Structure 1
């Protein structure tokens, strides 16, 4: 009997190790961040099915790699000015690349390339922050361009339409962007994540706004599913989302 146990023990251990190795292979090392170029290649692993909705206007889309695949009828979107960018999906940084990089040495460009390009090529930490999947959302290109590096704000409850029925608006004069209500809480929680993870400062005024949004606009099933899919690819959760999803019983 003792001989049989000795014979089977290596087989059992090998079987257990095999199961564990397969389970571990399904998840990336935690965390597995990417630069922005590689991050964009991961998007089809996250944004498929019901998650294919643009952040600022709520339009559904079929394929982020092809033009004219955004369903404007699903959200009532109308281009404001730049029709070339209006017909394509772009990956929007919630905390902008400008905000990520402006306090870094690499942002002081050398004259041969832009500040952002200089940071991408010379600052590995900037490159990882720029490519963090938690900070990226699909946007109609024109709205992404109009938002530019403007800070999020809220100044009216009756926005005058700029993009058809899309309720996100831009104040170009004062360099402010007011997102539609449905995503304000999510944008706040992403901003908190970027502060906690990378130390990107949030001003007192902005913090009060984001704390208000976080309370007024709780996590949705869409936001929780997005966080879970990012976890499967990148290997980490946004704790400001994950904990609230658990509290709400969504996961």
Structure 2
């Protein structure tokens, strides 16, 4: 039994700014699957813009200062993920390519559509096989990557008309939502030269960002989440390059 569950239509977009800005916090108190409105819905572009302003404002005015205070208090090293990269590589990688790839991997499947869940499962399985068998062997590695693309794309095409969500996904959604944000943040610990318990608060910006992007993906859609990620990274990188 697949126990399929249909998700009700998207809720109306709030009409006032206060309702828009408090909506994510109400959602985080009780995460649940919602049908994205898409950017073409009336008021959706304004909705996205306000949520993006909230993301960047809280990130820069609250979360990053807390992270920097922690870094200073314990004399922790700065991230070294982009050491030696020129401005063009920084902007292309951190502002354009990074957000697109991260949103596809972390948020594309978060709405629970069967085609996206299949593609995500195939991708994870393919990456695991590549790490286990494909590294250092061009033929095996290429075969695994090609098979992963074929299996992911084939399943996506086969399931493209299914709009219901698996029952297990709906029931576990709150856990999956928070796990997604935590894993997204923890992944960025690799930006630091040494991973310790003291380094955990250094990824608070990524945790906040993961929570916001998860909400935007579910409330409006994947493309708006990518757009917010790009804007957030662009503003942060611009400030870092300008003022250090």
Normalised-by-shorter TM-score class: under 0.3
- Relative to the length of structure 1, the TM-score reads 0.25
Higher relative contact order (CA 8 A, sep 6+): 2
- Relative to the length of structure 2, the TM-score reads 0.25
Higher strand share: 1
Query: Which structure is larger by alpha-carbon Rg, 1 or 2?
Result: 1
